Amino acid sequence: MSARAPANDPTFQNVWDELVWRGLVHVSTDREALRALLGGAPITYYCGFDPTAPSLHLGNLVQLLVLRRLQLAGHRPLGLVGGSTGLIGDPRPSAERTLNTKETVQEWVAKLRAQVERYLSFQGENAARIVNNLDWTAPLSAIDFLREIGKHYRVGTMLKKDAVSARLNSEAGISYTEFSYQILQGMDYLELYRQYGCVLQTGGSDQWGNLTSGVDLIHRVEGVSVHAIGTPLITNSDGTKFGKSEGNAIWLDAEMCSPYRMFQFWLNTDDADVIDRLKVFTFLGRAEIEDYARQVEAEPHRRAAQRRLAWEVCTTVHGLQTTQAVAAASDALFGSGDLTALDPDALRSALRELPHTEASVDTTVVQALVDTGLVASRSEGRRAIAQGGVSLDGVRVTDDGAFVTGALPGGVSVLRRGKKTLAGVFVTR
């Protein structure tokens, strides 16, 4: 497979219809008005990303791809990185956020900005623009904020917002700081409407209260109707939270989540989820996705849809060259690829996701089996070798006195017990 430029499906005359087909509209303001708006002259729209971590994650990727789809339809995106809202914290349903230092938030703003920029085009008549809400929030005094913005909000309405209501009914309660978050996000929309004529905000459906905060504020202050789209929260078919892997979020930053781990995450998508994931996370057209749906039905063992999903998303996030390397590593470790031909960095990265150990060149295979947890004891390791169930770098081990070699690219070795139980050995010399 090769890389191709992202494009919307030309069989849809209106990008709204494609968003609906892909399952990306969970809740919205007036649907008919939105369809007309998105099918007409270019509009300006935005999505915000708060620096609550040094990287965006797969949940944010949904929004990044929606931004891109709308831009490909000719509309003008604003990517907002929340330098001010990141200092406050969007209220979670469970407990108060820990406030990060201003220096930390500033550092994360720069990282998130660079990530958002990767998904948008800054060329042409509908070139993207990145904005930071700290630019208009920082100069505003508390008195001006209360007089010019706060007076337009009714506490009763604010209390009904889902996140606020959940916190009020919890033991943790909610601070005035987080209670005010929806006002800040509403002010963002107003500011972007005034500066750029922005008339659409997108976000997750769990943000609906904050999205409508801006819609309502603009209507009160400017007498204008603007719009919002809430995308569905992505969950697995069994009801579990999407984007978690053994308790760890799938981050877009390669330093926080290796491209190999991301590739494997998509490869492990359940048959019941994979077609929906292709719709949301790839630019494959309707005909291709429907063909993969038939393949899942007829030949699920081939997992062709999962492999295409992994390839497309990893290429979008990490680029073609990296994806080629991690796909080759996956094939070599779990299929029939050549271990000796792998990219050293990709192989080392892959092995860090498996049970692994560091060892010197005088470490026996038996000891390495114990150190990586493939066997519980040296005696069990010797029995496994005697039974022909152990291989080193793709070659069956017949001598229980053999040593690890680190002969593969990057100075590593791959231990295999049975057909699918693998571990990595990082050999020091």
Q: Are residues 224 and 80 in the same domain?
A: yes
Q: Which of these, 67, 97, 68, lies nearest to 85 by C-alpha position?
A: 97
Q: Are residues 325 and 382 in the same domain?
A: no
pLDDT at 247 (0 to 100): 58
DSSP secondary structure letters along 8-57: --TT-SSHHHHHHHTT--SEES-HHHHHHHHTSS--EEEEEE--SSSS-B
Q: Are residues 127 and 187 in the same domain?
A: yes
Residue for token pair 């892959």: 350
Does any domain span residue 6? Answer: no
Q: Are residues 292 and 332 in the same domain?
A: yes
pLDDT at 97 (0 to 100): 83
- Provide the CA 7 distance to its chain's centre, in angstroms: 20
pLDDT at 244 (0 to 100): 58
Going by the DSSP 8-state scheme, the letter that residue 205 receives in this structure is G
Does any domain span residue 237? Answer: no
Cβ count within 10 A of residue 204: 19
Say if residues 388 and 403 touch (Cβ distance below 8 Å): no
Residue for token pair 């990145």: 130
pLDDT at 9 (0 to 100): 97
- Provide the CA 429 distance to its chain's centre, in angstroms: 38
Q: Are residues 120 and 253 in the same domain?
A: no
Does any domain span residue 111? Answer: yes
pLDDT at 403 (0 to 100): 94
pLDDT at 174 (0 to 100): 87
pLDDT per residue as tens, the chain (429 positions) = 656 789 999 999 999 999 999 999 999 999 999 999 999 999 999 999 999 999 999 999 999 999 999 999 999 999 999 999 999 888 877 778 888 999 999 999 999 999 999 999 999 999 999 999 999 999 999 999 999 999 999 988 888 887 788 888 887 788 888 888 999 999 999 999 999 999 999 999 989 999 999 999 999 999 999 999 999 998 888 777 777 554 568 999 999 999 999 999 999 999 999 999 999 999 999 999 999 999 999 999 999 999 999 999 999 999 999 999 999 999 999 877 899 999 999 999 999 999 999 999 899 999 999 999 999 999 999 999 999 999 999 999 999 999 999 999 999 999 999 988 999 999 997
The C-alpha atoms of residue 348 and residue 261 are separated, in whole angstroms, by 12
- Look up the pTM and report it: 0.92
Beta pairing, strands 244-245 & 248-249: antiparallel
Q: Which CATH number is 403's domain given?
A: 3.10.290.10
Does any domain span residue 347? Answer: no
Q: Which of these, 117, 129, 140, 130, lies nearest to 187 by C-alpha position?
A: 140
Q: Are residues 110 and 149 in the same domain?
A: yes
- Which residue range forms the structural domain that includes residue 86? 15-231
Q: Which of these, 181, 234, 233, lies nearest to 209 by C-alpha position?
A: 181
Q: Are residues 297 and 198 in the same domain?
A: no
Q: Which residues pair with 81 in a beta bridge?
A: 49, 132
CA distances from 69 to 5, 79, 120, 181, 223 (A): 12, 14, 10, 28, 29
Does any domain span residue 2? Answer: no
Does any domain span residue 284? Answer: yes
The C-alpha atoms of residue 190 and residue 148 are separated, in whole angstroms, by 11
Q: Are residues 76 and 166 in the same domain?
A: yes
Q: Which CATH number is 260's domain given?
A: 1.10.240.10
Cβ count within 10 A of residue 238: 8
What is the length of the chain?
A: 429
Token pair for residue 390?
A: 């152990």
The C-alpha atoms of residue 188 and residue 191 are separated, in whole angstroms, by 5
Decide: helix, strand or coil at residue 101: coil
**Secondary structure string (H, E, C) spanning 194-248:** HHHCEEEEEEEHHHHHHHHHHHHHHHHHHCCCCEEEEECCCECCCCCECCEECCE
Going by the DSSP 8-state scheme, the letter that residue 124 receives in this structure is S
Cβ count within 10 A of residue 82: 28
Q: Are residues 69 and 210 in the same domain?
A: yes
Q: Are residues 221 and 278 in the same domain?
A: no
Does any domain span residue 81? Answer: yes
Give Cβ neighbours of residue 166 (< 8 Å, ≥ 6 apart). Answer: 93, 94
Q: Give the residue from 306, 339, 372 where a domain finishes.
A: 339
Does any domain span residue 239? Answer: no
**Secondary structure string (H, E, C) spanning 185-203:** HHHHHHHHHHHHCEEEEEE
pLDDT at 157 (0 to 100): 87
Q: How many domains does the chain have?
A: 3
The C-alpha atoms of residue 174 and residue 167 are separated, in whole angstroms, by 6
Q: Give the residue from 209, 231, 253 where a domain finishes.
A: 231
Q: Give the residue from 207, 231, 255 where a domain finishes.
A: 231
Where would I find the H helices in 73-141?
85-88, 102-117, 134-137
CA distances from 48 to 79, 165, 236 (A): 6, 23, 25
Q: Are residues 197 and 252 in the same domain?
A: no
Q: Which CATH number is 90's domain given?
A: 3.40.50.620
Say if residues 38 and 69 touch (Cβ distance below 8 Å): no
Q: Are residues 61 and 192 in the same domain?
A: yes
Say if residues 355 and 346 touch (Cβ distance below 8 Å): no
pLDDT at 2 (0 to 100): 58
